[in-house]
Amino acid sequence: MDYLPLFFRLQGRSLLLIGGGEVALRKARLLVRAGARVEVVAHELHPELQQLLDDHQGQWLAREFLSEHLDGQALVIAATDDRTFNRRVYEEAVARQLAINVVDDPALCTFVFPAILDRSPLVIGISSSGKAPVLARLLRAKLETWIPSRYSDLGQLAGRFREAVKQRFGSINRRRKFWEDTFSGTIAERVFSGQMQEAEKLLQEQLDKADEETGVGEVYLVGAGPGDPELLTFKALRLMQQADVVLYDRLVSAEVLDLCRRDAEMIYVGKKRDHHSLPQEGINRLLVDKARAGHRVVRLKGGDPFVFGRGGEELEELKGAGIPFQVVPGITAANACSAYAGIPLTHRDYAQSVKLVTGQLKNRTSELNFEEMADPNQTLVFYMGLHTLELIVQGLLEKGKPATTRIALVSQGSTPQQRVITGTLETIVAQQQEAQLPAPALIIVGEVVELQPRLAWFNTNY
């Protein structure tokens, strides 16, 4: 982040605005809405700005800017078209450790004005760090259509009941659950339809009959997909942002994790070959323990939880312990990596079936049915097989797969680091020894790989 988003409380505080034109007027309108007392230094003043100052106890100083004008100010805004003068103001403000914004000059700003969506007390600020303000305004316009103005009424209602809810529930998790039910149920719908008295009555009734006991929580087994956060499902995102606890794997990308609720307890339970941060039995127990403590737990898995993700084992443990759960499918690596690499898994001219296979071979020996895999007109997809690539190739060749069979390695598929190499069973081991593609990687075997050079579309500049 170039800037840390912050919200200033400005009611009754003095702010210095240098410049009296139309740009200064736009800034002043925002400042007085936040309750600030605005002092303007300028030789001339826009008539509307003069009226704004008169209406909100502001002050116009019709003279040259002096250093002492900075005394006692909470913020400084320079809105002139003289960059040399603006730099002087910037340097003097920074020397006094005052926050300053020089309009339309990000290099001379210690804070920026975001595009604002006002649903007070809910306020959303959108910033491009001064690089693309029009883009920020366009995004705000989209949010204006998605977030009804009645959200302001909902926020005001919550504010009136906030202390009562805090007194009613000693547990922060129970308070959070109460508010989430309120904001997503009948009460919110009453607010959105303008029935404020009915909404307030329902909220009081819900508070009166609510049980302080937390009870058993719930576990959500969520597929995080291959790494691109835009490939998450809506349901996955919603549950991630509700969860009190998140248990996540090594293959869950940082961008996906960043979408989880900020104050959730984040627990890494990832596995690498020959190294597990927590044994599977320990993960199972942890899911049960956290749910029994009343938490909503997201078990976040790369790809899909039921495709080589041990999701079934974890659900068996939860079922036996009487813990309620839900499963949210994710886009598995076979689908994502093949699509992003430009390799269709099926094609009527090349392959009529797909076989998903784990390449994680115990003790480096294989119990895989290579004879069945040697059948033509199918696509083979090996997960977690990069370190056993030579054994996989050898097994296929020994069972009669032609040495000219096409094969692709897709490393870190669907991410900006994606790399793809293609070859044949005869050449691919040597190619990988030279390329040294890193894990995680997917191995795709079949004639569909022939299409990759023509259909490749994502991150091809490597």
pLDDT tens digits for 121-173?
999 999 998 889 899 999 999 999 889 899 999 999 999 999 999 999 988 87
CA 260, 110, 22, 31 torsion-angle sign: positive
The residue from 104, 271, 289, 399 that is catalytic is 271
Q: Give the separation between CA 400 and CA 75, rounded to whole angstroms.
A: 76
Given a cut of 60, is residue 433 above it in pLDDT?
A: yes
Exposed / middle / buried, residue 289 (Cβ in 10 Å: 0-12, 13-18, 19+): middle
Task: Calculate mean pLDDT across residues 427-456.
Answer: 96
Residue pair 219/324 in contact by the 8 Å Cβ criterion: yes
Task: Calculate mean pLDDT across residues 264-281.
Answer: 81
Q: What percent of the chain has pLDDT over 90?
A: 80
Q: What is the DSSP string of 168-210?
A: H-S-HHHHHHHHHHHHTSHHHHHHHTT-HHHHHHHHHHHHHH-
Task: Calculate mean pLDDT across residues 372-380.
Answer: 93
Which pLDDT value is given to residue 259?
95
Identify which has the larger pLDDT, 1 or 413: 413
Task: Calculate mean pLDDT across residues 441-461.
Answer: 94
Whole-number average pLDDT of the chain: 92
Residue 199: which of 183, 178, 211 has the closest Cα? 183
Residue 286: which of 255, 256, 265, 260 has the closest Cα? 265
Residue pair 230/311 in contact by the 8 Å Cβ criterion: no
Which pLDDT value is given to residue 100?
97
211 is written with which tokens? 């049980």
pLDDT in tens, 232-272: 998 999 899 989 999 999 999 999 999 999 889 999 998 76
Given a cut of 60, is residue 276 above it in pLDDT?
A: no
Given a cut of 90, is residue 432 above it in pLDDT?
A: yes
Q: Is 362 a catalytic residue?
A: no
Q: Is 118 a catalytic residue?
A: no
Given a cut of 60, is residue 207 above it in pLDDT?
A: yes
Which pLDDT value is given to residue 462?
62
Which pLDDT value is given to residue 2?
87
Instruction: Name the pLDDT band for 214 (thresholds 50, 70, 90).
Output: low
Instruction: Name the pLDDT band for 212 (thresholds 50, 70, 90).
Output: low
The residue from 153, 228, 244, 249 that is catalytic is 249
Q: Give the separation between CA 381 and CA 445, rounded to whole angstroms.
A: 6
